[in-house]
Amino acid sequence: MCWSATADLTAGTIVTAAGVVCLARTRRARDLPVAAVPVLLGAHQLVEAAVWDAGGGRCAATTAWAVIALPVLAVWVPFAVLCAAAPRTRRRLLPPAAVGLLTAAVLAACLATRPVTAEIRGRVIGYGLDVPYPAVVVAGYLFATLGSLLLAGDRLLRLLGAVLAVGAALCAALWRLEFASTWCAFAAVASLLVFGWVGRADAGAARDPKAYWFWPPSTNRR
């Protein structure tokens, strides 16, 4: 995700901290999963710093990296968007959530039964996992993650989906050239967008105090 252990460690720390701030600012329970996305991205980069330090291979950090990147995000992102969505837009978000569950199940089964490897190639790390029908699995993964964001009713979440789609395409091209992994930069941009989204959601909740997830029931009834 970044071009060295130091870059991953630095970016991961910053993105994780941004995620913690997003969570602290969140006032509605249904917004918490989206607010936690930067924490997942930051933790993912911190794990990859350990992969760099281990020199790749089949270490525990490699497996942890794959678990977050594959089944966890395939489920987390579409269901986070579904939770945060307004009731009128939830129906169109059900297909990405269902595909995410199925894709995550396939990936989790592969991780449980097959080894995942990491190979350092200059300034990038190549990960390997034997997956059946890889084109279908990748399509399902992209539909679940990017598709759910692009189908969201919220403008900032759609922008987040577009930014991540461009980032995925660019990072894939640079990875093939073995030039440098630049995903950490897009993770930072994604964190800023989530921060802005949380701030806007917080403003909306402020107009309706009962929308706060910690709003206590009234004890002064007459």
Sorted by where each starts, the structural domains of the chain and their CATH numbers stand as 5-211 (1.20.1070)
Is residue 111 a contact partner of residue 129, using CB atoms and an 8 Å limit?
A: yes
Within a 10 A sphere around the Cβ of 55, how many other Cβ atoms? 10
Confidence at residue 222, expressed as pLDDT on a 0 to 100 scale: 36
pTM, to two decimals:
0.86
Mean pLDDT of the chain: 86
Give, rounded to a whole angstrom, the gap between the first and last alpha carbons of the chain: 58
* Residue ranges in the chain whose pLDDT is less than 50: 178-180, 206-208, 213, 217-222
- pLDDT tens digit sequence for 53-85: 999 999 999 999 999 999 999 999 999 999 999
Which percentage of the chain shows pLDDT scores above 70?
A: 84
CA 62 to chain CA centroid, Å, is 17
Helix (H) or strand (E) holding 25: helix 5-25
